[in-house]
Amino acid sequence: MELITSHIDKIEDLLAKMDETIDASRAVPFSAKISIEKEALFSVIDDIRAIVYDMRKGLPSEINQARRVLHDKDAHIGDARTKAEMIIKAAENEARKMLNEHEITLNAKALAAELTTEAKQEVEDFKISAAGYVEGIFNDLDDLLRTTLDDHTRKAREVEDFYNNILAELYHNRLAVKIEE
């Protein structure tokens, strides 16, 4: 948490520096435009990008893993669809070849239907599997974030109790000094 606060403070400082650069820029005569030193502004933008990169590196690995899973899920579903289309096309091609005889045609249609059903079932099974896997990652991430929040809340209470104890002790010491006067 301190790292994020530190990064946010740095970004705020850089944004203030950017404001100063803009405020210090020269006005273009006879227009509402200004002339800004490009290198100074790009330097601040590069510094902000570096901080954002550091912040992304500091994210819990579960978030990065969840991003990869989401990315991979779409690729796997695309692969499954491609395979299903290939199976369907293969079945259709096979059916066309068998049109010469009635019995063979009936068999081909049955096979094509069976392959289509199997392909659709495989795609559906994969979608369900991928969704379950992603749900597990999200549950793990949810647990991590809740644990982290609970930990920060507990620490905040400890800090608040500490300061309340100091204030109470200060109050009692003040009363003791007034009584002795």
Tokens matching residue 110: 């049955």
Q: What is the pLDDT of residues 132-152, one digit of tens each?
A: 888 988 898 899 999 999 999
Give residue 100's pLDDT. Answer: 58
Q: What is the end-to-end Cα distance of the chain in Å, rounded?
A: 47
Residue with tokens 């300061």: 163
Alpha carbon of 115 to those of 18, 34, 100, 121: distances in Å? 62, 67, 21, 10
Length of the chain: 181
Percent of the chain exceeding pLDDT 90 equals 20
Q: Which of 5-14, 61-70, 153-162 has the lowest mean pLDDT?
A: 61-70
What are the DSSP E strand ranges found in the chain? Answer: 26-27, 34-35
Collapsing DSSP to helix, strand or coil, 34 comes out as strand
Give residue 107's pLDDT. Answer: 82
Inter-axis angle of helices 102-180 and 61-97, nearest 10 = 170
Q: What is the pTM of this model?
A: 0.32
The rounded distance, in Å, linking the Cα atoms of 23 and 40 is 13
| C-beta neighbour count of 152 within 10 angstroms | 11
Cβ atoms 19, 7 nearer than 8 A: no
DSSP class of residue 28 equals P
Q: What is the pLDDT of residues 45-92, one digit of tens each?
A: 898 888 888 777 766 665 666 667 777 777 778 887 888 888 888 888
